A and B are shown apart, each in its own frame.
Chain A
Amino acid sequence: MSATHATESVNPGGATIRAPSAGEDSIPDGGRAPDRRSVTTPDLITVRNLKMHFPVTEGALIPRVVAHVKAVDGISFTIRKGETLGLVGESGCGKTTTGRCILRLEHATGGEIVFDGKNLIELDRKAMNALRQKIQVIFQDPYSSLNPRMKIGEIIAEPMKVHGTEPNKAARDARVTELLGLCGLDPRFADRYPHEMSGGQRQRVGIARALSVRPEFIICDEAISALDVSIQAQIINLLEDLRDEFNLTYLFIAHDLSVVRHLCHRVAVMYLGKIVELADCDELYNNPLHPYTQALLAAVPVPDPEVERQRAHQIVKGEVPSPINPPSGCVFHPRCRLAVGDCARTIPEFRELRPGHWVACSVVQSLREKSGAS
Chain B
Amino acid sequence: MTKLLEIENLQTHFFTSAGVVKAVDGISYDVNEGETIAIVGESGCGKSVSALSILRLVASPPGRVVGGSIHFKGRDLLQLNDEDIRHVRGRDIAMVFQEPMTSLNPVLTVGRQLTETLQQHLGMTREQADARAIELLGLVGIAEPERRLKQYPHHFSGGMRQRVMIAMALCCEPKLIIADEPTTALDVTIQAQILELMKDLTRRLGVALIVITHNLGIVARYADRVNVMYAGKIIESGTAHDIYHDPQHPYTLALLKSVPRMDRPRQARLDPVQGQPPDLTRLDNGCAFRPRCGFAVARCAREAPPLVRAGAGGHLAACWETETVAGSLQRAS
The chain A residues found within 8 Å of chain B, CB to CB, are 90-91, 198, 200-201, 228-234, 236-237, 240, 255, 257-259, 261-262, 281-282, 285, 295-308, 313, 315-316, 319-320
Number of A-B contacts (CB under 8 A): 133
A261 surroundings in chain B (CB, below 8 A): 260, 262, 266
Shortest beta-carbon distance from A143 to chain B in Å? 12
Q: How large is the interface on B (under 10, 10 to 19, 20 to 34, 35 or more residues)?
A: 35 or more
Say yes or no: B261 contacts A90, CB within 8 Å: no
Most B Cβ at <10 Å: residue of A228, A261, A303:
A303
CB <8 Å contact, B189 and A295: yes
Tell me whether B214 is interfacial, beta carbon within 8 Å.
yes
Q: How far is the CA of A257 from the CA of B262 in the complex (A)?
A: 8
Known: A229-B214, A229-B216, A313-B196. A320 touches B187 (CB 8 A): yes
- CB-defined contacts of A198 to chain B, threshold 8 Å: 276-277
Residue of B nearest to A236 (CB): B270
Give the complex CA separation of A157 and B189 in angstroms.
41
Pull 20 A–B residue pairs with CB atoms less than 8 Å apart, ordered by A: A198-B277, A229-B216, A230-B273, A236-B270, A240-B269, A281-B266, A298-B192, A299-B191, A301-B192, A302-B217, A302-B262, A303-B220, A303-B261, A304-B263, A308-B221, A313-B192, A315-B196, A316-B189, A319-B160, A320-B187
The 7 closest A-B pairs by CB, nearest first: A301-B217, A233-B272, A230-B273, A90-B187, A303-B216, A262-B260, A233-B258
Nearest CB of A to B39, in Å: 14
| Residues of B that sit less than 8 Å from A by CB | 42-43, 157, 159-160, 187-193, 196, 214-221, 240-241, 244-245, 254-256, 258-263, 266-267, 269-274, 276-277
Instruction: With A305-B221, A315-B192 given, name 18 new contacts (CB 8 A).
Output: A90-B187, A198-B276, A230-B258, A237-B269, A258-B261, A258-B262, A261-B260, A262-B266, A262-B267, A295-B189, A299-B188, A299-B189, A302-B221, A302-B261, A308-B221, A313-B192, A315-B189, A315-B196
Neighbouring B residues of A305 by C-beta, 8 Å: 220-221, 240-241, 244-245
Query: In the bound complex, what is the Cα–Cα distance between A305 and B224 (angstroms)?
Result: 10
Residues of B within 8 A of A281 (CB): 266
> What's the least CB distance linking B227 to chain A, in Å?
15
Assess the B189–A233 pair: CB atoms within 8 A: no
Known: A90-B188, A303-B219. A262 touches B270 (CB 8 A): yes
Q: For B244, list chain A residues within 8 Å (CB).
A: 303-306
A-side contacts of B192, CB under 8 Å: 298-299, 301, 313, 315-316
- The contact of B189 among A90, A302, A303, by CB within 8 Å, is A90
Q: For residue B219, which residue of chain A has the nearest CB?
A: A303
- A258 and B193 contact, Cβ closer than 8 Å, known pairs A230-B254, A305-B221: no
- Are A304 and B220 CB-contacts (below 8 A) given A230-B273, A233-B258, A313-B192? yes
Contacts known (A228-B277, A319-B157); A257 close to B258, Cβ less than 8 A: no
